[in-house]
Structure 1
């Protein structure tokens, strides 16, 4: 059995990478971070580029898995995993997964005209921006957001929470705690989060290798030192193991496979970004560097539904059976 990507899948991956490199390169990433400020995205969600969001919709990012007869692209979960891996590499901000899952159920989500955020009973990602739909549960019913069309829309009773990632605004919904237990996470959302984490792991590995090749110490590149070589080699191994797991889970869509992929991808993202920061030294945590942004995004993603505890429970139940 062959597990290589098809020519069409490679073309899709490369096309998304080129689109993001053109529309959300490192310069625009830093501009978004600067606009958000150290305290987060601010009350108007300034880090969400609505023009880019609509361009993603036009490119089929959100409608990727919708049938063609429903106006979608008609592709499957493996292709979605490739696309979200590229989004993770680029640190693309926004509730991408929630909007992707809402395509076909919420008018305007598939085309990027409407942004759908996730409300899971605890800390939630939220874009305080015009035209935001108030949570998936309400959005799927087709009901409009209270006050939609105004700047600064927020969920009813939501309280802003300081986010470690400046490009991921967080709110706490009234009556819930930070670690409140919500409904079981959508397996597709768990897998696509793993794909984003895989993208971050791969990007962290690339950044570490690039820096190790160019940064000199004692008259030679730091990549010549054994300790740095080991760090980079371990990062590559973690990335490739996670990639195999994510791609396999996208093919089988089995709960245990998705749980394993999420565990491996979370570990790869968290450890790779940490090791990348170590390779860069203190400069990796400067505001101008993107290394610390990958680390912070990996931290935030790891807290989404389907993280360590939930995935371990899924695997344990599978082993008991």
Structure 2
């Protein structure tokens, strides 16, 4: 059976691409890493206007009540453009944890959330600027306060230790965790595709011995391996969005992380020394892929879940 996105999903992905292609996303990401959030919040509001922030919110809170596959489509594009901010926490995880009027703020793009989800997400992303902070401990939900900030290989992933506070209720955390892992996999998939596109473009322009390096068989093989990895990961991510079964989500997370990591390594090889420079957009994706590969469950955890299920 051949799996295809619907025309509506393709159009939605194109609308996200069109919006972000006309914005200085890399500049906003670098500013976000410095703790300057104005550019990133403008991106957030612009994406809210086309419905991205409303996808996971039920219609009773002015959301779209979209499918998990719609979320995957959006996060793939967010990853391609390396948009900064707590997107997974706010758009995917929080609506799966809470049934509360504050979700109307999420749908409108006014509310940013930070979620700590022990034991696999012990630190809180962007907790200092989040409007809503929720810590998951088993089935218990607590508000929390941000404590000390931690360093991350990805400067735009601003992580904080937490100080749990008042208990605010209970929830079944299963669906929320799977959505966190799944949307992270989709983000990795998009980042990997950007790395591949950038590497192909560079290989066509960079010349050695009087010809583009993309004409050399060794470079072709490197890029072909990346294409294969991404094409194998994509249907796993889409299938996991249809079932949200733990085994499927874990398989998707492992495959997307591996493919994106290969795309990052290959991109660095193809670009050469320029890929190490802080000014080049390649570096933003290299560090993000490395960080997200272990976010919402390490590769070892997800491989173990797949193994336990077979």
Which TM-score tier does this pair reach, normalised by the shorter chain? 0.7 to 0.9
Alpha carbons 1:102, 1:136 under 8 Å: kept: no
Q: How many positions carry a matched residue from both structures?
A: 291
Structure-1-length-normalised TM-score: 0.82
Whole-angstrom CA distance in 2 between matches of 1:132 and 1:21? 28
Secondary structure class of the residue paired with 1:118: strand
Deviation at 1:76, TM superposition (A): 0.4
How do 1:1-321 residues align onto structure 2 when only pairs under 5 Å count? 1-23=1-23, 25=24, 28-30=25-27, 32-33=29-30, 35-36=31-32, 40-42=33-35, 45-46=36-37, 49-100=40-91, 101-103=93-95, 105=100, 106-107=102-103, 108-121=105-118, 122-129=122-129, 132-135=131-134, 137=136, 156=145, 158-173=147-162, 186-319=177-310
In structure 2, the partner of 1:149 is none
Secondary structure class of the residue paired with 2:15: helix
Which ranges of structure 2 fall in alignment gaps of 5 or more residues? 165-172
Structure-2-length-normalised TM-score: 0.85
Alpha carbons 2:188, 2:257 under 8 Å: kept: yes
More moved, 190-199 vs 14-23: 14-23
Deviation at 1:54, TM superposition (A): 2.2
Which ranges of structure 1 fall in alignment gaps of 5 or more residues? 146-154, 176-182
Alpha carbons 2:134, 2:141 under 8 Å: kept: no
Deviation at 1:163, TM superposition (A): 1.9
Change (3 A) 1:31 1:311: closer
Bigger proportion of residues as strand: 2
Change (3 A) 1:219 1:47: farther
Could you list the per-position Cα deviations for residues 218-257 of structure 1 after superposition, in whole angstroms to 9, with x for gaps in the alignment?
Answer: 1100111111111111111111111111111112222211
Alpha carbons 2:28, 2:40 under 8 Å: kept: no
Whole-angstrom CA distance in 2 between matches of 1:99 and 1:298? 20
**Aligned-residue CA RMSD in angstroms?**
2.6
Deviation at 1:160, TM superposition (A): 1.1
In structure 1, the partner of 2:169 is none
Change (3 A) 1:114 1:70: closer
Change (3 A) 1:31 1:188: closer
Deviation at 1:168, TM superposition (A): 1.3
Deviation at 1:69, TM superposition (A): 4.2
Could you list the per-position Cα deviations for residues 46-85 of structure 1 after superposition, in whole angstroms to 9, with x for gaps in the alignment?
Answer: 3762222222223221221334344222320111101100
Change (3 A) 1:31 1:3: closer
Could you list the per-position Cα deviations for residues 87-124 of structure 1 after superposition, in whole angstroms to 9, with x for gaps in the alignment?
Answer: 00000000001101324643412211111012234333
